[in-house]
Chains A and B, each alone.
Chain A
Amino acid sequence: MTRIDERTVPRSPLARGAAGDERDALSRARLDLGFNVATVALIAFLLVLFFLDIGDYPLLGLTIAAWVLVAVTLVAALVVRFRLPDELPLWLYLGGLGMWAVALALDIAGSWPGGGAAAPLTAAAAIGPALLLCVPVRPARDILLAAAALGGVLAIVVVWRALPDLQLLGPGMVTVAIAVAPPVVGTQIVRSLRTLVQLELDLVQVQSTVVSPGYAIGMLASEELARLDLAAERLLDGVATGRTELPLDEDTADAAAGIATELRLHLIQGRTETWLYHAVTESALLGPSVTLSDPEGLAAGLNRDQRDGLLTAVWLLISDPVRAGTGQPRTLTLELARPVGTYPQTSNPGATMSIVISTSGVPRNGVDPAAWQAVRKVGRYVESFSGSILRIEVTTVSDTSAELV
């Protein structure tokens, strides 16, 4: 309907900030440092193992060459890392993988049992811990693919070599584990940290509604208004400068009518939505999973502590499986209503309200204790389980001094 040039429309300030914030909050330098110690320790162990068995290598030169290659990439990685952009460029990563592939081949060839003596694969296994260094700077898929390939090749070699003497399988399997486990565990850690940071950023953003006016326009609507103004400006400018022919063709006329209608709606749109509505719609986590029913806009009457408690409780109930890394956010229904004839003596009918939080899939004893603490800030509550549905009924009293729970 409205033909609005998306390229020049300003993007959401939140969306723009989030990526940078996340990067900043993750503090990549520290991620690297954490993995560096583990990498160096594991590679040092493998080097010691190599020296312990140095006499057993049929083609010592090849294995030494393999170690040199690994050492070169390692030193290069440790030196170059702090001058690189946030993400390792693909060509550099592929280059590293190439060198490691060569090292892998050299080590396999160098330790190939010629005269029967079994020499352990060391440089080849060191590739795994070295890959750990790439974990914070490459997408998880890249790392997992490389680790799988490395593990596959090593497993084949190990099984092949153990065919004459099954007892050799044990050390071989440990070699594979040393090569594959560090990058995989590292990927898991980085992913958990990233989820954690995203959830926290979401929570912080949601909580910023706690101090906003009870009824507000909301960040999305305010951007929408700016967008419509800009669209109108363009259209009028086109007419004014003669770029647009008069009378308008059908499409442009439709666009003008559309902008006018939307603009009119946005201008008369008072502050009919509460802070809670905005908190829910603006949040990437709450938006899709919370159904809010507050026809009378009662949420506007909650004070700052109550708002904070309500949001935190809802957020904790929903995000628990995400934070534990076990699944999708739960769905939750939030209903705000006036209590039915319970407080006839209350002079101000807006002072009390009942909030019903119902959510499914919460284990009976699996509610985060912090969630109960948060609910307590909102008001008196009664919880009940029916089937798999947890129902929390909160009765609030706006005057917090009267709240003696």
Chain B
Amino acid sequence: MSRIQKERDRLLAATARTVGLTATATALLCLSVPGSLPLPLYFASLVLILCLGYAQWQLAGLLRLTMWLWIIVAAGNALILVHLLPGTALGPSAISAVGVIGAASVACVCVLAVTSRTRLILLVASAALTVGSLGVTLGMTGSRMAEPLVFTVTGWIALTATGVWLSRTVPRTLKRISTMSRAYRVERQASETEARRRQSARLLHDTVLATLTLLAHSGVGVSHGALREQAAEDAALLRQLRLGFTPDPSRSGDYKLKPVEQSTLGNTLESVKQRFRRMGLEVNWHGAGQVLLPSDVLDAFLLALGECLENVRRHSGVNEAHVTITDDDANVRAMVTDAGKGFDVSTIDAGRLGFTESIVARLRDVGGNARLFSSPGSGTTVVLEVPK
């Protein structure tokens, strides 16, 4: 049985159970009104009502449904026929009881019976049986016939309509939902792509992070004008990123929107240099300037370099740093040196966000590495290495 069918049957069974139990309870109350049935017959009908109610309760379990449906029909009709036995015209409460049993207690089977052809036979047979036994009981006892019969017919029509409608609505609804899975999938891919796009705009984020950090430290050592200028530039880049472009710095002091597969190191180094000059740190380049690197490696490399220089600017106490770029067949190396205060390497906590996460993690992402050498009073050297 498919899941959709199961959900459908579950809902139908729950509805049938609620309707059936409500009606059975009402019938029990009607029969319990003094004078409806002679006492022995009342007790017999209590047993039948228990049977009826139990079978209705079992519907929601969805096991052996057809058996329970037949038990409901049998117990309900037996309950109606019990009223033949006194042989006198039924009072208003007894008529109400047989009416409710016919119209809803038994009729609750038709909510579930619309789902298959064999059950449809059950539906027609039990409807005929119920109307028949009701007619016989009322006719032979000479009771009022019109109301209970009309009530019963109404009950069967209303409940069959409800069953048909529910059994069509549920599968249709579930199928419609499952077609939405494609939309969700596309949305997820789009979101993933968007995250990648933003994450891959690393160089941009590098400058943004540097500026933010600078602002957070009250922009010490940088003129307000320069800071505002840098902030304007970064905000403009973020806006472009938000609007769907992928800004990628390619020349000094200027950013162009273009996809870059490979870039030369030289141009971009110049932009890093400009940025740090504005903030009061003179960077001197030495060595190779025209190294070709894949863009993701280049981004990671420049980012790490930027972080190193930012550390120099903030902590070294000097305003000059040297960067030496060397390359061999396999790797590109940058050595960042300053003649500043230096520090004891063993005293920095390995988990400190600045060094390990910003620098090392990004370099490792692209297969590179970073090493740090320093001691108090003799400056600091960081060696960054990435594969070509």
Give residues in A with beta carbon < 8 Å to B. Answer: 13-14, 17, 21, 24-27, 30-31, 33-35, 37-38, 41-42, 44-45, 48-49, 52, 166-171, 173-174, 177, 181, 185, 188-189, 192-193, 196-197, 200-201, 204-205, 207-209, 211-213, 216-217, 219, 221-223, 225-226, 229-230, 232-233, 235-237, 239-242, 246-248, 252-254, 256-257, 259-261, 263-268, 270, 323-325, 368, 370
* B195/A34 in contact, CB under 8 A: no
Bound together, the chains give a CA A169 to CA B14 distance in angstroms of 29
B67 within 8 A of A: no
- 7 residue pairs, one from A and one from B, having the closest CB atoms: A170-B93, A34-B165, A240-B232, A222-B195, A170-B96, A257-B216, A37-B161
Query: Could you show 20 A-B contacts with beta carbons less than 8 Å apart?
Result: A13-B191, A25-B176, A30-B172, A167-B92, A168-B93, A170-B29, A170-B33, A170-B92, A181-B19, A204-B184, A211-B185, A222-B198, A225-B198, A226-B198, A229-B241, A232-B238, A247-B224, A259-B212, A264-B358, A323-B7
Bound together, the chains give a CA A174 to CA B6 distance in angstroms of 33
Bound together, the chains give a CA A193 to CA B238 distance in angstroms of 45
Q: Of B35, B147, B180, B209, which one neighbours A21 at CB under 8 angstroms? A: B180
Bound together, the chains give a CA A167 to CA B58 distance in angstroms of 32
Bound together, the chains give a CA A263 to CA B97 distance in angstroms of 72
* A192/B165 in contact, CB under 8 A: no
Q: Which of B76-84, B151-159, B339-347 contacts A (4 or more CB under 8 A)?
A: B151-159
Chain A minimum-CB-distance residue to B212: A260
Q: Mark B52-82, 1 if CB is under 8 A from A, else 0.
A: 0000000010000000000000000000000
Q: A235-B215, A268-B358, A270-B365 are in contact. List 11 more A-B contacts (CB 8 A).
A: A24-B176, A34-B166, A42-B158, A45-B154, A205-B184, A212-B188, A213-B192, A236-B231, A236-B238, A256-B212, A267-B205
B284 within 8 A of A: no
Contacts of A324 in B (CB 8 A): 10, 14, 60
Bound together, the chains give a CA A229 to CA B216 distance in angstroms of 16
Chain A minimum-CB-distance residue to B97: A170
* B198/A233 in contact, CB under 8 A: no
* B30/A174 in contact, CB under 8 A: yes
Q: Of B100, B178, B191, B217, which one neighbours A174 at CB under 8 angstroms? A: B100
* A181/B22 in contact, CB under 8 A: yes
Contacts of B241 in A (CB 8 A): 229
Bound together, the chains give a CA A189 to CA B185 distance in angstroms of 30
B260 within 8 A of A: no
Contacts of B208 in A (CB 8 A): 232, 236, 263
Contacts of A236 in B (CB 8 A): 208, 211-212, 231-232, 234-235, 238
| Distance of B2 from chain A, by nearest CB (Å) | 9
* A229/B198 in contact, CB under 8 A: yes
Identify whether the interface residues of A are mostly helix, strand, loop, or mixed: helix
Contacts of B11 in A (CB 8 A): 189, 192-193, 196
Contacts of B212 in A (CB 8 A): 232, 235-236, 256-257, 259-260, 263
B173 within 8 A of A: yes
* A212/B218 in contact, CB under 8 A: no
B170 within 8 A of A: yes
Given contacts A177-B100, A240-B235, A246-B228, contact A207 B181 (CB under 8 A): yes
| Distance of A260 from chain B, by nearest CB (Å) | 4
| Distance of A186 from chain B, by nearest CB (Å) | 9
Given contacts A13-B191, A204-B178, A239-B231, contact A170 B151 (CB under 8 A): no
Contacts of B168 in A (CB 8 A): 30
Bound together, the chains give a CA A389 to CA B242 distance in angstroms of 49
Bound together, the chains give a CA A394 to CA B178 distance in angstroms of 27
* B209/A260 in contact, CB under 8 A: yes
| Distance of A334 from chain B, by nearest CB (Å) | 21
* B199/A217 in contact, CB under 8 A: yes
Chain B minimum-CB-distance residue to A240: B232
| Distance of B196 from chain A, by nearest CB (Å) | 7
Bound together, the chains give a CA A226 to CA B95 distance in angstroms of 70
Q: Mark B133-169, 1 if CB is under 8 A from A, else 0.
A: 0000000000000110011001001110110011011
Given contacts A167-B92, A239-B231, contact A27 B169 (CB under 8 A): yes
Interfacial residues of chain B within 1-46, with CB under 8 A of chain A in the complex: 3, 6-7, 10-11, 14-15, 18-19, 22-23, 26, 29-30, 33-36
* B199/A263 in contact, CB under 8 A: no
Bound together, the chains give a CA A192 to CA B14 distance in angstroms of 9
Chain B minimum-CB-distance residue to A201: B177
Bound together, the chains give a CA A266 to CA B361 distance in angstroms of 12
Given contacts A174-B100, A254-B216, A263-B209, contact A52 B147 (CB under 8 A): yes
Contacts of B34 in A (CB 8 A): 166
* B30/A239 in contact, CB under 8 A: no
* A14/B187 in contact, CB under 8 A: yes
* A197/B158 in contact, CB under 8 A: no
* A209/B60 in contact, CB under 8 A: no
Contacts of B191 in A (CB 8 A): 13, 217, 219, 222-223
Contacts of B91 in A (CB 8 A): 167, 170
| Distance of A64 from chain B, by nearest CB (Å) | 20
Bound together, the chains give a CA A325 to CA B150 distance in angstroms of 34
